[in-house]
């Protein structure tokens, strides 16, 4: 009995009889399951490792009684709270102790998802076919015809029929052991005790998730004597909720739960994040002053898949590697592919103040709608570069901007890799704006492709072809 | 080997711990137990009567008793009297002192580990936040995909398994925040990335975390609402984060970064604050900031977390601990609330802000997150036009950094509230002024909604146009 506190100090501060009595009504099944759980924990020698998750419902105060690590979960969330504990300390033995409202109603999503994940925790499900704590309302497991506070005329078809959780859980792949037991006679109680211990042993041995449904008595809200309630469970509940093992793969499932302690090695963290320890190459003589400002803004616009975002990132990265500040904001339509894809890029000598580009200095347009939409926003004296393969008729563009038509797609197609048209465009941008020397962009390409060196020659060729294709402006 | 019946322990019952449910009567094959007939003075219940003359120590009655201190086997040497006449005794004398009293846990401190010098990185905001969390020692991330926050979770899903940490894609945001409740209850730093609709779902769990005094970092990359809204940036969750963290008396420090660099720095800071106060910390980002790429410099150290003394770790040392937000008696719950209020009061010391050209400013722009950057651009434009504009940028939205604003007020003729919400930041400012007993200068609001941020040009135009309320 040592798994129970010597005195229930958490029960009304342990005052008077509450120091040794439970808060459960006379004849309640919870107390019996508590005893069986306590005995099982003791038999397996896992008291120090156990974390018991108390749910919401009558067993909300399970933590009054069990001398183990205790936590109390929001309604229905006990198994995922338990999962948090199990992942934090894989050595802990986690028990999610829940009633029918908690497990089979409000927490159904958490129950099913946790069972299907199959991580080794133990779920004890007390099914007494009624809500106890709130005062005798319809439970998801209430029987057809059963009168409750919220089914005063009996459960009927409009309320659906009782849910069989053990069967539901057993047909999932995650659990290794699912059994339904009862408490209505000495034989059942012995079986229940064995099932609970087995479910815990399966966790202790790292074999997986185990679920024990216990048909329990709630004499108070069934408005019967404890003896009649036992009879009711036996005669009325067991035909709907048949007893027995619904799934047991514990013997054939080898122990597999084995997690190492997390790593805090700095090199490993930085390596995974791709942090460079070598300073970036610099080729620019300084900030491109010919734009006559300290903050240059760009709009790169096309459809998803055009590579506008990648080009924008390369542009920002080149500026940052040259020692300046830069930002890139992408914006997409809801489609993963084929929708609009716009990028706002800023390069600043010291600090980008406003990262949005409502009136860019430079527009790179990959398709006609983008050109039509953004060309009027380009500032006077700015530069517009568009894909002349796709946009054969640029229409009337605003005066006072330098406009280049460069066949991004055509060149990329000649290189037999249409996807590099954004690199062609970047080459064109370099030649048209002289933002930074070409070598600055090449250094960035080398950095970002350091793990895909085979792609470098193609990208270099695309960039150079884009540069060379910039002739005299269209207007 | 079976113990002879005469030597098996017989049941023992203190009548005040019997609730008279009679479940033992059916269980006893020897009919040793009968329904009582006398009301127990202490309980008002009618305990059963035991007559153990025929008892063979089968224990079936004990197994049927729902009370831990109800029917119990008599431990230790069996009474020499084979007929089993028992006197009622204190259970402590019967069972002896418990062998394994849980010890009092001590905090294991966290450790700062020097980081090798790395070059500045080019990272998007969500990645920067994830890196900040990793450097703060977070190895447990729970989340549910939602645009525009998902890249943070994706990065964690890629990196954490290689660090023997855990990323779990939960069945919902409700499950995710409760996995945090569990992991954090075990004493470890953990976090989630979410966006407005997901944040709404997490509020229940956040209230429980605050009630149970659990740390944890929630990054809310705000998007357009209400309802499903859209996936563009908005700031209309400030009200939720500052005033509406679920039910009950709740508050949490709300940090509002404005750059990818701050996404890293403040995410890291959030873990520190979260453990310092045993309370969740919210990172309020906006959709632009989540997606925005910028330069990010690395800090000099990273943290290896310790284990707080209050953790429910699942070992002997921490066995006595409880994570719980229930206080059934009203005085207990009132005392808990008083404790929380004192904590919220202490958090006011963490107020943070930034200023830009406020030295002589008489037009003070107030903005946070990305709109603060538009506002910064507007300050430059306004200065170029001869207007003495400056920017006050709250970094903590709760607590509002009123002490930082206070010294600027005497010179300020007008406040310009720049925000992507219908005045939720303005409400915080007005409340803070009111609580501080300070008069509110005229306010010119510059507000956009629905996923559109106020642009530099419209901020400038609003200031030039004048007009305030």
Does the beta-carbon distance from A113 to B170 stay under 8 Å? yes
Check whether domain B5-86 has CATH 3.30.70.3270, yes or no:
yes
**CB of B170 less than 8 A from some CB of A:** yes
Q: Which of residues 290-319 of B touch A (CB under 8 A)?
A: 291-295, 298, 302, 304, 312-316, 318-319
Q: In the predicted model, is pLDDT for residue A335 greater than 70?
A: no
The ipTM estimated for the assembled molecules is 0.93
In percent, the amount of chain B with pLDDT more than 90 equals: 88
Residue numbers in A near B453 (CB within 8 A): 356
From the CA of A271, how many Å to the nearest CA of chain B?
A: 10
Does the beta-carbon distance from B119 to A10 stay under 8 Å? no
Instruction: Look up residue B312 and give its two tokens.
Output: 């429910």
Domain spans, chain A: 12-248, 272-469
Rounded Cα gap, residues A320 and A322, in angstroms: 5
CATH class for domain A12-248? alpha beta
Region of poorest pLDDT, from A393-397, B267-271, B427-431: A393-397
Greater model confidence, B80 or A38: A38
Q: Which residue of A has its CA nearest to B187?
A: A88
> Cβ atoms within 10 A of the Cβ of A91, count?
12
Rounded Cα gap, residues A236 and A221, in angstroms: 16
Rounded Cα gap, residues B364 and B441, in angstroms: 10
- Residue (of A465, A463, A363, A462) closest to A404 by Cα position: A363
**CB of A202 less than 8 A from some CB of B:** no
From the CA of A303, how many Å to the nearest CA of chain B?
A: 18
pLDDT of residue B77: 42
Q: Which residues sit opposite A332 in a β-bridge?
A: A341
CATH number of A272-469: 3.40.920.10
pLDDT of residue B75: 66
Does the beta-carbon distance from B323 to A72 stay under 8 Å? yes
pLDDT of residue B8: 86
Q: In the predicted model, is pLDDT for residue A178 greater than 50?
A: yes
Q: Which residues of B251-286 are buried (b: 16+ CB within 10 A; e: fewer)?
A: bbbbbbbbbbbbbbbbbbbbbbbbbebbbbbbbbbb
**CB of A31 less than 8 A from some CB of B:** yes
- Per-residue pLDDT band for B81 (boundaries 50, 70, 90) equals very low
Rounded Cα gap, residues B353 and A112, in angstroms: 45
Average pLDDT (A79-93) is 98
- Smallest Cβ–Cβ distance between A89 and the set B66, B314, B377 belongs to B314
Find the Cα–Cα–Cα–Cα dihedral B224, B230, B232, B237, rounded to 10°: 20
Q: In the predicted model, is pLDDT for residue B130 greater than 90?
A: yes
Long-range contacts, stretch B403-411, CB < 8 angstroms, 24+ apart: B403/B351, B404/B351, B404/B353, B404/B355, B405/B353, B405/B366, B405/B429, B405/B432, B405/B433, B406/B436, B406/B438, B408/B355, B408/B358, B408/B361, B408/B364, B409/B438, B409/B439, B409/B441, B411/B360, B411/B361, B411/B362
Give the architecture-level CATH label for domain B353-465: 3-Layer(aba) Sandwich (3.40)
Helices (H) and strands (E) in chain A, counts: 16, 13
- Per-residue pLDDT band for A228 (boundaries 50, 70, 90) equals very high
- Per-residue pLDDT band for B79 (boundaries 50, 70, 90) equals very low
Q: Which of residues 75-94 of B touch A (CB under 8 A)?
A: 91-92
Residue numbers in A near B291 (CB within 8 A): 329-331
pLDDT of residue A473: 77
Rounded Cα gap, residues A93 and A85, in angstroms: 9
Q: Which residue of A has its CA nearest to B204?
A: A74
- Per-residue pLDDT band for A107 (boundaries 50, 70, 90) equals very high
Does the beta-carbon distance from B455 to A280 stay under 8 Å? no
pLDDT of residue B101: 59
**CB of B387 less than 8 A from some CB of A:** no
Instruction: Look up residue A183 and give its two tokens.
Output: 């408490």
- Smallest Cβ–Cβ distance between A277 and the set B26, B116, B324 belongs to B116
Q: Which of residues 114-153 of B touch A (CB under 8 A)?
A: 114-122, 124, 131, 134-135, 137, 139-140, 142
Does the beta-carbon distance from B374 to A354 stay under 8 Å? yes
- Smallest Cβ–Cβ distance between B165 and the set A22, A110, A262 belongs to A262
**What one-character-per-residue DSSP string does B347-408 give?**
HGGG--EEEES-TT-SEEEE--HHHHHHHHHHHHHHHHTT--EEEEEESEEES--HHHHGGG
From the CA of A292, how many Å to the nearest CA of chain B?
A: 15
Q: Which of residues 182-201 of B touch A (CB under 8 A)?
A: 182-188, 190
- Per-residue pLDDT band for B68 (boundaries 50, 70, 90) equals very high
Rounded Cα gap, residues A324 and B274, in angstroms: 34
Average pLDDT (A268-294) is 91
Largest CA distance in chain B: 106
**CB of A264 less than 8 A from some CB of B:** yes
Q: Which of residues 419-448 of B touch A (CB under 8 A)?
A: none
pLDDT of residue B469: 61
Measured on CA atoms in the order A181, A187, A189, A190, is the torsion positive or negative? negative
Does the beta-carbon distance from A77 to B178 stay under 8 Å? yes
> Cβ atoms within 10 A of the Cβ of A304, count?
16
Q: In the predicted model, is pLDDT for residue A50 greater than 90?
A: yes
- Which residue bears the tokens 């460069």? A406
Task: Report whether A298 contacts A344 (CB < 8 A).
Answer: yes
Name the E strands within A26-174.
Answer: 50-54, 69-72, 93-99, 122-127
pLDDT of residue A15: 92
Average pLDDT (B347-366) is 98
Task: Report whether A205 contacts A199 (CB < 8 A).
Answer: no
Residue numbers in B near A74 (CB within 8 A): 178, 181, 204-205, 208
B359: buried, middle or exposed (CB in 10 Å: 19+, 13-18, 0-12)?
exposed
- Residue (of A123, A118, A122, A124) closest to A256 by Cα position: A118
**CB of A187 less than 8 A from some CB of B:** no
Rounded Cα gap, residues B126 and B264, in angstroms: 9
Average pLDDT (B319-330) is 96
Does the beta-carbon distance from A71 to B163 stay under 8 Å? no
Residue numbers in A near B31 (CB within 8 A): none
Greater model confidence, B81 or A278: A278
Give the architecture-level CATH label for domain B121-350: 3-Layer(aba) Sandwich (3.40)
- Residue (of A96, A254, A126, A112) closest to A173 by Cα position: A112
- Per-residue pLDDT band for B2 (boundaries 50, 70, 90) equals low
Instruction: Look up residue A15 and give its two tokens.
Output: 């005052």
Does the beta-carbon distance from A21 to B17 stay under 8 Å? yes
Does the beta-carbon distance from B66 to A82 stay under 8 Å? no
Average pLDDT (B431-452) is 97
CA A256 vs CA A40, A79, A158, B168, B183: distances in Å: 22, 20, 45, 18, 21
Provide the mean pLDDT of chain A: 95
- Per-residue pLDDT band for B117 (boundaries 50, 70, 90) equals confident
**What one-character-per-residue DSSP string does A89-119 give?**
-TTSEEEEEEEHHIIIIITHHHHHHHHHH--
CB-side neighbour CA atoms (13 Å) of B427:
14
Region of poorest pLDDT, from A231-240, B115-124, B196-205, B403-412: B115-124
Q: Which residue of A has its CA nearest to B379?
A: A353
**What one-character-per-residue DSSP string does A303-336 give?**
ETTS-HHHHHHHHHHHHHHTT-EEEEEEEE-S-S
Q: In the predicted model, is pLDDT for residue B155 greater than 80?
A: yes
Region of poorest pLDDT, from A128-137, A464-473, B168-177: A464-473
Cα A282 to chain centroid, rounded? 40
- Residue (of A303, A141, A313, A157) closest to A236 by Cα position: A141
Average pLDDT (A17-43) is 97
Task: Report whether A78 contacts A55 (CB < 8 A).
Answer: yes
DSSP A234: I
CA B123 vs CA A31, A295, A350, A370, B132: distances in Å: 56, 20, 18, 26, 12
Find the Cα–Cα–Cα–Cα dihedral B187, B190, B195, B196, rounded to 10°: 10
* Residue from A84, A218, A219, A348 to probe the interface with B (highest B Cβ count within 10 Å): A84
**CB of A335 less than 8 A from some CB of B:** no
Does the beta-carbon distance from B102 to A67 stay under 8 Å? yes
> Cβ atoms within 10 A of the Cβ of A93, count?
25
Domain spans, chain B: 5-86, 121-350, 353-465
Q: Which residues sit opposite A262 in a β-bridge?
A: none
Q: In the predicted model, is pLDDT for residue A330 greater than 80?
A: yes
Measured on CA atoms in the order B9, B14, B17, B22, is the torsion positive or negative? positive
- Smallest Cβ–Cβ distance between A269 and the set B114, B163, B168 belongs to B163
Q: Which residue of B has its CA nearest to A270?
A: B118
**What one-character-per-residue DSSP string does A352-370 give?**
-S----SS-SEEEESSHHH
The dihedral region occupied by A120, where left means phi > 0, alpha psi between -120 and 50, and beta the remainder, is: beta
**CB of B39 less than 8 A from some CB of A:** no
- Per-residue pLDDT band for A363 (boundaries 50, 70, 90) equals very high
- Residue (of A96, A244, A53, A74) closest to A164 by Cα position: A244
Average pLDDT (A185-194) is 98
Rounded Cα gap, residues B57 and B7, in angstroms: 8
Per-residue model confidence as pLDDT tens digits over A123-153: 999 999 999 999 999 999 999 999 999 999 9
- Which residue bears the tokens 């645009």? B147
CA A46 vs CA A49, A251, B316: distances in Å: 5, 21, 10
pLDDT of residue A475: 63
Q: Which residue of B has its CA nearest to A330?
A: B291
pLDDT of residue B92: 47
Provide the mean pLDDT of chain B: 93
From the CA of A204, how many Å to the nearest CA of chain B?
A: 13
Per-residue model confidence as pLDDT tens digits over B190-199: 999 999 999 9
Answer whether B5-86 and B353-465 agree in fold. Answer: no
Average pLDDT (A109-114) is 98
Q: Which of residues 46-65 of B touch A (CB under 8 A)?
A: 60, 63-65
């Amino acid at each position: 009995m040592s798994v129970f506190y010597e005195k229930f100090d958490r029960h009304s501060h342990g005052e008077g009889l509450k120091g040794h009595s439970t808060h459960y009504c006379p004849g309640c099944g919870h107390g019996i399951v508590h005893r069986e759980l306590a005995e099982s924990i003791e038999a397996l020698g896992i008291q120090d490792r156990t974390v018991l998750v108390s749910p919401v419902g009558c067993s909300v105060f399970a933590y009054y009684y069990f001398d183990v690590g205790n936590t109390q979960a929001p309604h229905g969330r006990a198994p995922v709270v338990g999962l948090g504990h199990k992942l934090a300390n894989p050595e802990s033995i986690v028990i999610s102790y829940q009633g029918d409202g908690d497990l089979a109603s409000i927490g159904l999503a958490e129950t099913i998802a946790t069972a299907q994940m199959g991580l080794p925790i133990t779920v004890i499900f007390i099914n007494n076919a009624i809500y106890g704590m709130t005062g005798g309302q319809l439970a998801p497991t209430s029987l057809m015809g059963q009168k409750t506070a919220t089914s005063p005329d009996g459960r009927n078809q409009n309320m659906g029929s009782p849910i069989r959780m053990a069967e539901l859980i057993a047909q999932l792949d995650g659990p290794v052991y699912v059994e339904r037991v009862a408490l209505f006679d000495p034989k059942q109680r012995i079986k229940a005790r064995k099932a609970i211990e087995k479910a815990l042993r399966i966790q202790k041995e790292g074999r997986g998730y185990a679920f024990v449904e216990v048909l329990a008595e709630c004499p108070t809200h069934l408005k019967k004597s404890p003896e009649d309630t036992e009879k009711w469970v036996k005669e009325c509940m067991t035909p709907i909720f048949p007893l027995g093992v619904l799934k047991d793969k514990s013997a054939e499932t080898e122990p597999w739960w084995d997690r190492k302690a997390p790593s805090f090695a700095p090199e490993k963290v930085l390596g995974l994040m791709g942090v460079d320890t070598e300073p970036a190459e610099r080729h620019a003589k300084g900030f491109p002053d010919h734009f006559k400002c300290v903050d240059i803004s760009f709009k790169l616009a096309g459809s998803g898949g055009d590579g506008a975002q990648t080009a924008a990132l390369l542009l920002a990265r080149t500026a940052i590697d040259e020692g300046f500040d830069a930002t890139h904001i992408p914006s997409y339509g809801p489609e993963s592919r084929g929708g609009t894809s716009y990028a706002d890029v800023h390069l600043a000598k010291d600090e980008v103040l406003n990262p949005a580009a409502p009136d860019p200095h430079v527009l790179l347009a990959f398709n006609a709608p983008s050109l039509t939409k953004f060309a009027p926003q380009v500032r006077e004296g700015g530069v517009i570069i568009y894909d002349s393969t796709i946009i054969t008729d640029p229409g009337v563009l605003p005066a006072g901007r330098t406009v280049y038509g460069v066949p991004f797609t055509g060149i990329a197609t000649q290189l037999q890799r249409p996807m590099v048209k954004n690199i062609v465009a970047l080459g064109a941008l370099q030649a048209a704006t002289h933002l930074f020397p070409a070598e600055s962009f090449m250094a960035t390409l080398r950095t970002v492709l350091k793990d895909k060196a085979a792609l470098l020659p193609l990208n270099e060729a695309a960039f150079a072809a884009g540069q060379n294709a910039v002739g005299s402006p269209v207007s | 080997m079976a113990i002879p019946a005469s030597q098996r322990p017989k049941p023992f019952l203190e009548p005040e711990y019997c609730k008279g449910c009679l479940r033992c009567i059916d269980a006893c094959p020897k009919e040793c137990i009968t329904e009582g007939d006398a009301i127990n003075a202490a309980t008002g219940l009618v305990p059963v009567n035991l007559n153990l003359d025929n008892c063979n120590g089968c224990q079936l009655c004990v197994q049927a008793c729902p009370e831990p201190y109800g029917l119990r086997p008599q431990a230790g040497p069996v009474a020499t009297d084979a007929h089993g006449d028992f006197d009622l005794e204190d259970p402590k004398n019967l069972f002896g002192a418990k062998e394994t009293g849980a010890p009092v846990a001590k905090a294991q401190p966290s450790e700062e580990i020097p980081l090798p010098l790395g070059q500045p990185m080019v990272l998007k905001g969500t990645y920067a936040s994830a890196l900040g969390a990793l450097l703060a020692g977070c190895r447990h991330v729970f989340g549910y995909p939602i645009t525009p926050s998902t890249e943070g979770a994706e990065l964690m899903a890629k990196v954490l398994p290689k660090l023997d940490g855990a990323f779990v894609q939960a069945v919902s945001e409700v499950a995710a925040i409760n996995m945090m409740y569990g992991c954090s209850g075990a004493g470890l730093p953990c976090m989630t990335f979410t966006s407005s609709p997901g944040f709404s779902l997490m509020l229940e769990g956040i209230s429980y975390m605050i009630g149970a005094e659990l740390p944890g970092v929630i990054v809310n990359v705000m998007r357009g609402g209400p309802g499903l809204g859209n996936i563009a940036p908005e700031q209309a969750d400030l009200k939720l984060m500052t005033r509406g963290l679920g039910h009950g008396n709740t508050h949490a420090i709300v940090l509002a970064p404005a750059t990818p660099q701050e996404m890293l720095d403040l995410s890291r800071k959030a873990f520190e604050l979260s453990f310092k106060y045993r309370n969740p910390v919210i990172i309020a980002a906006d959709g632009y900031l989540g997606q925005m790429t910028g330069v990010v410099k690395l800090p000099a150290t990273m943290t290896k977390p310790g284990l707080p003394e209050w953790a429910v770790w699942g070992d002997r040392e921490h066995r006595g601990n409880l994570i719980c937000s229930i206080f059934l008696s009203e005085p207990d719950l009132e005392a808990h609330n008083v404790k929380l209020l004192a904590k919220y009061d202490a958090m006011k010391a963490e107020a943070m802000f930034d200023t830009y050209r406020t030295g002589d400013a008489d037009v003070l722009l107030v903005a946070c997150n990305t709109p603060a950057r538009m506002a910064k651009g507007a300050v430059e434009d306004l200065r170029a036009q001869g207007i003495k504009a400056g920017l006050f940028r709250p970094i903590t939205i709760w607590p509002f950094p009123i002490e930082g604003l206070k010294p600027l007020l005497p010179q300020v003729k007008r406040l310009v509230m720049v925000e992507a919400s219908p005045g939720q930041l303005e409400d915080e400012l007005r409340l803070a002024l009111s609580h501080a007993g300070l008069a509110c200068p005229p306010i010119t609001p510059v507000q956009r909604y629905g996923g559109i941020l106020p642009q530099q040009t419209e901020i400038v135009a609003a200031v030039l146009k004048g007009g305030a309320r």
